[in-house]
């Protein structure tokens, strides 16, 4: 999981610095572009390059491919990706670890189950704020129940559904 985060960090870093390096399409040489960078930008670029060099060739190729994908996106999509990454970076290590663990669990599911969960998530996003709050509160309460209490509620719901 840590390698995923490291690769992601390097990937976004490269993406963020690429426009700086390509800012002037008519630049005569890479040296001129380098000279336009601030000392802080140069140091950041050096650090990121050193980290990139430590990746396996497969990881480096994956990074290049992702950079090309990001550059091929329309500006609005790219902005969304970068904002999401910035939000990810603000998370605590524990929050990131939980997200990465959940993502790994999601990817281990069958494609059918993944699709079902995507549909459920889209429904959640379409809910109004009050509905979302109520659903999340119910989920919190559900998680506090013992397995026996949950089973009892499931049986009651099944009986109600069979009654009608």
Residue 131: band (very low, low, confident or very high) from pLDDT cuts 50, 70, 90: very high
User: Is residue 17 domain-resident?
Assistant: yes
Query: What's the burial of 12, exposed, middle or buried (CB within 10 Å: 0-12/13-18/19+)?
Result: buried
- Output the average pLDDT for the chain: 84
Q: What are the angstrom distances between the C-alpha of 97 and each of 6, 11, 52, 143? A: 12, 18, 22, 20
Domain enclosing residue 51, as ranges: 2-108
Burial 44-79 (b: 16+ CB within 10 A, else e): bbeebeeebeebeeebeeebeebbeebeeeeeeebe
**Structural domain count of the chain:** 1
Residue position matching structure tokens 């572009």: 33
User: Is residue 150 domain-resident?
Assistant: no
pLDDT digits (tens, 9 = 90+) for 109-120: 999 999 999 999
Alpha carbons 155 and 105: distance in angstroms, whole number: 28
User: Is residue 19 domain-resident?
Assistant: yes
User: Is residue 90 domain-resident?
Assistant: yes
User: Is residue 47 domain-resident?
Assistant: yes
**More confident: 26 or 130:** 130
The predicted model gives 40-65 an average pLDDT of: 90
User: Is residue 146 domain-resident?
Assistant: no
Decide: 18 and 71 in contact? Cβ < 8 Å.
yes
Q: Give me the pLDDT at residue 24, please.
A: 44
Decide: 70 and 79 in contact? Cβ < 8 Å.
no
Residue 90 has pLDDT above 70, yes or no: yes
User: Is residue 143 domain-resident?
Assistant: no
Q: Give me the pLDDT at residue 3, please.
A: 52
pTM of the model: 0.51
Residue 58 has pLDDT above 70, yes or no: yes
pLDDT digits (tens, 9 = 90+) for 60-86: 999 899 889 988 999 999 899 889 989
User: Is residue 158 domain-resident?
Assistant: no
């Amino acid at each position: 999981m840590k390698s995923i985060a490291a690769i992601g960090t390097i990937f976004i870093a490269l993406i963020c610095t690429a426009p700086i390096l390509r800012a002037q399409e008519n630049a005569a040489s890479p040296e001129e572009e380098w000279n336009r960078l601030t000392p802080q930008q140069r140091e950041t670029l050096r650090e990121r390059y050193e980290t990139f060099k430590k990746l396996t060739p497969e990881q480096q190729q994956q990074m290049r491919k992702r950079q090309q994908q990001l550059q091929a996106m329309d500006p609005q999509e790219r902005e969304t990706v970068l904002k999401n990454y910035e939000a990810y970076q603000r998370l605590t290590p524990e929050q990131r670890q939980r997200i990465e663990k959940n993502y790994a669990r999601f990817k281990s599911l069958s494609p059918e189950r993944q699709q079902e969960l995507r549909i459920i998530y889209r429904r959640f996003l379409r809910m109004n704020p009050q509905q979302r709050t109520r659903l999340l509160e119910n989920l919190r309460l559900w998680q506090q129940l013992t397995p026996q209490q949950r089973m009892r509620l499931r049986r009651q719901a099944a009986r109600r559904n069979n009654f009608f």
